[in-house]
Structure 1
Amino acid sequence: MALLNEHFLKLKGSYLFSDIAKKVKAYQVTHPGEPIIRLGIGDVTRPLPQASIEAMHRAVDEMASSATFHGYGPEQGYDFLIETIIKHDFAPRGIQLSPSEVFISDGAKSDTGNIGELLRWDNSMGITDPVYPAYIDSNVMCGRAGTLGEDGRWSNITYLPCTAANGFVPAIPDHRIDLLYLCYPNNPTGTTLTRDQLKQWVDYALANDTLIIFDAAYEAYIHDDDVPHSIYEIRGAKKVAIEIRSFSKTAGFTGVRCGYTVVPKEVTAATLDDERVPLNPLWNRRQCTKFNGTSYITQRGAEAVYSPEGRAQVKETIAYYMENARTMREGLTRAGYRVFGGINAPYLWVQAPEGMTSWKFFDELLYRAHIVSTPGVGFGPSGEGYLRLTAFGKREDCEEAIRRIGRL
């Protein structure tokens, strides 16, 4: 008889966004024909950059000829994309990486969920709260999160509250933890850390032998000079941090799937015998065993993002979404809501009216304004009393949503 990994039974019945989908479906059944504006899930609406489309067409043509056909590619990614990433994303910021430290993947979500396979199940861990649900759920699956308490917190997780009271800047723990997840610009709050604030976390990790998983999926939205685009801009970070990035929210690759993870050769973990083992070759071994690589066509499309034309087109797309964010932020503020984020990230974190829960606020917007949002409590206990809205919608939808909210 096959025995079950019973840690899966600890997971909630469904994923946050599945719960939202069920609520929206129920609403549509009782309100047929009512026009809904979807500002909940962080999916993009702008098309792929034209430079990527053209590059992918050329790649498809290559696949049509035996002379230029590409079969299995390298599990780590093609050199042409890896070298382009290093040249454009890191070298201009004074960050030196070797090609063997960059691993192309099918997106940031996969890597954030899979990276924990390199570590023992009994490592202690810390998360900012609220947090992207995949960080916790992937650790629940292997038993690392512990048991769920009645307060909605897992026993082996140190929660680092990010609320209006502390300016959404998590406090450094008063004890050591083994594994720490940071996401900046932050999903879901849309807030950021300054260079000095991020340096405090790197210093903590160096002093406490903590491994940081740094999710930088939204770095392209950063406008403020004092907000670092990469954790490796902080001295010493290559010894303690793995960085994960995505082409989804910058170049619209949500349906194409491409991202990458940086595992510096300096970053290590320990055995029970106190032997220090580099994680880079272990991640390489894991990928070679469980991943056949991102498609050649996709990687050619990603490479084109860095061409002069591609960079200009991506910049235009990001400006479009950030103008949505500005319009929504200002409109919500005029309507009397307290709003955070939306300056260096495409997310707005909206405080519910006093005494209203996240799900009640969600229902209020759905049934009275026909707007789909994401309840903040779905991202963790400290998200209670907030909603997340995305700026990834169409311009006219974002503007109409604000008009509807203003009429509530």
Structure 2
Amino acid sequence: MPAESSKDGDVGRARRDHVDPTAAIVAAWRAESARLVGALTRMTRDVELAEDLAQDALVAALEQWPATGVPENPGAWLMTTAKRRGVDHFRRADNLRRKVAELERAGTGEEEQMPDLDAQVDHIEDDVLRLIFLSCHPSLTAESRAALTLRLVGGLTTAEIARGFLASESTMGQRISRAKKTLSEAHAEFELPTGADRTRRLDDVMAVIYLIFNEGYTATAGDDWMRPDLAHEAMRLARMLADLAPDEPEVLGLQALLELQGSRLGARLDEDGAPVLLEAQDRTRWDQLLVRRGLAALRRAEVLAAGGKPVGKYFLQASIAAQHARAARAEDTDWRRIASLYDVLAGAAPGPVVEVNRAVAHGRAYGPDAGLAVLEAIDEEALGDSPLVPSVRGDLLERAGQHVAAAAAFTAAAARTRNEGERAVLQRRADLNRSRASEPG
């Protein structure tokens, strides 16, 4: 038996020796960074210091793993290294000797068990949830919340975040630094909020994740219609939040919504890279794993809702997305059901964007005139210079056979958008309607 155990150990070491250290470091950082920063923030009560210590551990891995091999438990290695760096930091700070004792006690109680992180998973996941709430503190702007969430919880670099939001790396770095400073000045507590405050903060967390997904799904500006990396990161964050708050139907609704909409990413561009609208998409290219995940999350939310748990806009939007996911062909879509769901959504979460989408649904369900009636009641000024209203107006007018008016609407929408992919789609539809309008008969 000892000989076999020794042989098994040799095999395990040999397998680890063949792992690409760089790939292992990237994977470990993406999987563990939120837990790492969360645990360190709990111990140091300083999110900026916690991130610095985590980054130190990452640098140590980059220096050591190529020479020593990938450790058996990369997450435990990073956690232990970061804690040791923390102890060293506080030992150097004479005015913070009290923190040394706290960290050393934490090390005695936790570091010895660190190779078996599963034994502490609940505590560690609580740290991640605290970190998500901290990143979405009400003292921060929506943009700063999104950037800080991607940095602290998503583990993205400043350069990756800047690229996703079309900002310079220096600008994004300053935004993230200011956000951390704001948290420090606000004396933000690294504790889970309770009661009404928790509800408000959870809404903020979900709003940030949804903002990140939307920016990835349809970019506000730039040459690319989509930024899939941002959309996939938002889906990952939504799954994480659903794991941490599994009894919240709205959280499950958010996960379902993002999974179902995210399933279409691969079908939203044709072979030439041109955008493809929903009804023209090849549904065999939709990611069926994401569809199954989304529908499963929605079913769990429905069970909770049936038990009396309140639902809101994410659950309702996921229910709408599910109608598309369940239709094998575009013509099989139950638009009347979708229109009724949008009517409910308009009551639960009123707003001009919901009304625009309600106009689309009513136009499909009951004819273009019904959609135009909903659209005309919208205060267009509330949407600023968004191309949303004129683009939907163009679509409904096109379906009504009013090609001259449709061309004008699509042209107006194309002039408003800052996204080149969207502009190309709108301009192409304007040209098509002009061509149809000039046809005899």
TM-score category by the smaller chain?
under 0.3
Q: Higher Cα Rg: structure 1 or 2? A: 2
Per the normalisation by structure 1, the TM-score is: 0.24
**Could you say which structure has the higher strand fraction?**
1
**Could you say which structure has the higher helix fraction?**
2
Per the normalisation by structure 2, the TM-score is: 0.23
Question: Which has the bigger relative contact order, CA under 8 A and spacing at least 6?
Answer: 1
